[in-house]
Structure 1
Amino acid sequence: MSIPHQADPVKRARLRWRARRGLLENDLIISRFLDAHEASMTDAEVEAFSSLMDLADGELMDLLLARKEPDGELDSPHIHALLERMRKA
């Protein structure tokens, strides 16, 4: 059994590192969200967050600004719920 995200400081640091983006606007939105919600994120939310961090900056920005909605592999309840929280942060 693996250690949950919130109980492992290494996993938390790795999440912050992955959240660093090349596009300043993405960085600001993501940093603000993590500052407010990182401590309360569930492992499912961390997994959804990691999936979003795999996207190119332009694709991520379109999702964060609700110019697009997730499709394909990203079209899951966890991704939709996380994006909704991130958009409000």
Structure 2
Amino acid sequence: MNTTVNVRLEKKMKAKASKALSELGLDMSTAVKMFLYQVVAEQGIPFVPTKNPAAIRARWDAQVADALKGHGYKTADELHRALLKKTK
């Protein structure tokens, strides 16, 4: 049985990705399928994310600040659960 996956992204990003994939002889659907098959095969993302550590830290700090805004948490576990909800 087949299913459908919908992805939301900016028009410019879709156009740039479609162009790059077309130059490789791929369409968007095939590229996404290839990616997902690799995720399953490797049990994770099939590449190393290249974001620099400073950007990762800045995003984390912003998420923590947002989670703490107007809230009090009794335990670190409560804060952690709140952060996980914010990143979904």
Interval of TM-score (by shorter of Structure 1 and Structure 2):
under 0.3
Name the larger-Rg structure.
2
Q: Higher relative contact order at CA 8 Å, sep ≥6: structure 1 or structure 2?
A: 1
Give the number of the structure whose residues are more often helix, by fraction. 1
Per the normalisation by structure 2, the TM-score is 0.27
Per the normalisation by structure 1, the TM-score is 0.27
